[in-house]
Amino acid sequence: MKPLAWLGSSLRDTRSFPADARRVAGFQLWRVQMGLDPNDWRPMPGVGAGVREIRLHTGREHRVVYVAKFAEAVEKKARRTSDRDLSVARERLRLMLGRRRRNG
């Protein structure tokens, strides 16, 4: 099972989801950890290579953004991916890549 790495406020942001969205997000992230694809996802090449968005449908739309080719993950929520959220995802990807370079 691949570990999850939470960057910035991603864990706190995900914990702020309603209970049903947290449950679905947890299950979908478990699938990723097990090497499976989430049930509903799309690539986000505008953020970076290997970045994917999991779509959570629970009455309100929530999103979880993660890097597919690494074990690390980043999250955020929104109905439509806002420019601000894309910027946050890009910054977290930059941080993750820097962390990976430092740790070999």
- Cα 96 to Cα 32, 39, 50, 51, 80, distances in angstroms: 17, 25, 13, 12, 24
Burial (CB count <10 Å: 0-12, 13-18, 19+), residue 69: exposed
Query: What separation in angstroms does the CA of 48 have from each of 22, 90, 95?
Result: 25, 7, 12
Number of domains the chain is built from: 1
Question: What is the mean pLDDT of the segment spanning 15-24?
Answer: 95
In a domain, 1, yes or no: no
pLDDT digits (tens, 9 = 90+) for 28-66: 999 998 889 999 999 988 888 888 999 999 988 899 988
Structural domain for 22, as ranges? 10-103
**Residue 31 within any structural domain of the chain:** yes
Q: Which pLDDT does position 78 carry in this prediction?
A: 44
Q: For 87-100, what is each residue's pLDDT tens digit?
A: 888 888 888 888 88
Query: Is 4 part of a structural domain of the chain?
Result: no
Q: Residue 34 falls within a domain, yes or no?
A: yes
- The radius of gyration computed from the CA coordinates of the chain, to the nearest angstrom, equals 13
Q: What is the pTM of this model?
A: 0.70
